[in-house]
Amino acid sequence: MQTKREQYFKVLSKYVPIEFVSLTSDLLIKYPVVFKIVKPRKTKLGDFRAGINNEKHQITINGDLNKYSFLITTLHEFAHLITYNTYGRRAAPHGEEWKANFRQLLLPIINSSALPKTIENALVNSLSNVKASSCTDINLQRVLITFDEQIDDLKTLESLNKKSTFELNGKHFEKGNLRRTRFLCMEKETKKNYLVNRLALVKEIKDEE
């Protein structure tokens, strides 16, 4: 009969780089939590929910992430769990307490020499001012995207020229100005404006009349 650690190892090997499966399994053993791998969500990569009425805490991670994104997102959510265990709701969601815990979880993987150098460098740069998530650290996200399964005709939105037309989720848009980390884009059919992540993967539409 498999031990709990062996069960975790078997499942996590499909989602986490093999060098870090033991580290992730150890977190699941040390901190009792309902850990779910879920269908992709457009608004978030992972989520932490504190248990109420003596229920276990819950962490959910999108199952379509590449292995390095899955690992970093998992550590992000465990930092929330550890912070909650210590401070309850007294600590801000991404305040100094959470940042300190996230740094402590990141250090072993950075010091392991098992990360691709590009990710290692991006994480080291992040440690001086840890962002709320890998999605808000543009440089880190740029690096992580390179480990996604690439689709030949897709490009990042930021790589297109201004006023380029592109397709996203079956709709056509015109690229506008950058607003912090998102571009203001006009949907061609309705003329409505939407903010689209600068690193969204889109299909450029050329010579559209």
d(CA 9, CA 25): 6
pTM of the predicted model, to two decimals?
Answer: 0.83
Q: How far apart are CA 113 and CA 131, in angstroms?
A: 23
Cα 72 to the center of its chain, rounded Å: 7
Instruction: Tell which phi-psi region holds residue 196, choosing left (phi > 0), alpha (psi between -120 and 50) or beta.
Output: beta
pLDDT tens digits along 3-45? 888 899 999 999 999 999 999 999 999 998 999 999 988 788 9
Strand runs labelled E in 31-144: 33-38, 46-49, 57-62
Task: Identify which of 115, 116, 123 has the alpha carbon closest to the alpha carbon of residue 141.
Answer: 123
Q: What are residue 174's DSSP bridge partners?
A: 165, 186
Q: For residue range 136-147, list pLDDT tens digits in order.
A: 678 888 899 889
